[in-house]
Structure 1
């Protein structure tokens, strides 16, 4: 969901040829599959494309391929570091660090909670903050 929402925001800013966006899981159980049906449904409501999105697993090379890697929860962050090791060039942050005062470290998993709307609202707000941060990092390149 976050990848699709962020792609949409980046496209609306005209930065789709400047910012590379990808998402990956730390487990291998969904490799090659499209986003979850609940995620697709909420993205359809907001007319956000998820075309051609397929799950892949995080690889150690991602630590040098990307400048910034965003973890959705605390366990995810630990798993990311386990894959990347301590030599990763990428900065790794937790998504909700973009929303201080939210009261949680972890984005709820709508697969378990069933509340895709709540997660969408949280993801949208966080992605807006992430875009500000990315644009600051781009400086004159954007």
Structure 2
């Protein structure tokens, strides 16, 4: 079984979008053996659903995030997941700062899987207000991640 964790800052925009979109794409590809989750490096929104505007943008494109709830990333996630994907360099650095000495779980930038963008970070739509850009980037990176898992 492969266990994948998507991580952003508050776990209300980018990482739940990645969780929802990638989960749907994985199911469509017949990859039922995956465990997929998301978390935030900050605890501000723990227990809350994804940001309403992000949910609306996702729903308009066929992705339902309504059942997801935010949680904070912890050092235990290094043991609970086989791959941790950060939405940007800042969160990547925050994740690595929590790495236990005996963990070799890979942490990568999610857009490392996107072959159609020059960006390295998924911009935070909470600030940019460009929710469609986030969905577009997550869709491209999700397809690349799926290809990497099925090769």
Post-superposition shift, 1:119? 1.1
Q: Unaligned stretches of 5+ in structure 2? A: 1-16
Does residue 37 of structure 2 align to residue 22 of structure 1? yes
What is the aligned partner in structure 1 of residue 73 from structure 2?
58
* 2-structure distance, mates of 1:20, 1:103: 29
> How many residues align structurally?
135
What is the aligned partner in structure 1 of residue 103 from structure 2?
88
* 2-structure distance, mates of 1:100, 1:124: 11
Does residue 59 of structure 2 align to residue 44 of structure 1? yes
Q: Unaligned stretches of 5+ in structure 1? A: 137-142
What is the aligned partner in structure 1 of residue 143 from structure 2?
128
Which of these two proteins has the greater Rg computed from alpha carbons? Answer: 1
Q: Secondary structure at the match of 1:49?
A: coil
* 1-structure distance, mates of 2:149, 2:64: 21
Higher strand share: 2
Q: What is the TM-score with the length of structure 2 in the denominator?
A: 0.83
Find runs of 4+ consecutive structure 1 residues off by over 3 angstroms: none
What is the aligned partner in structure 2 of residue 139 from structure 1?
none
Higher helix share: 1
* 1-structure distance, mates of 2:62, 2:117: 26
- Whether the 8 Å CA contact 1:73–1:106 is kept in 2: the answer is yes
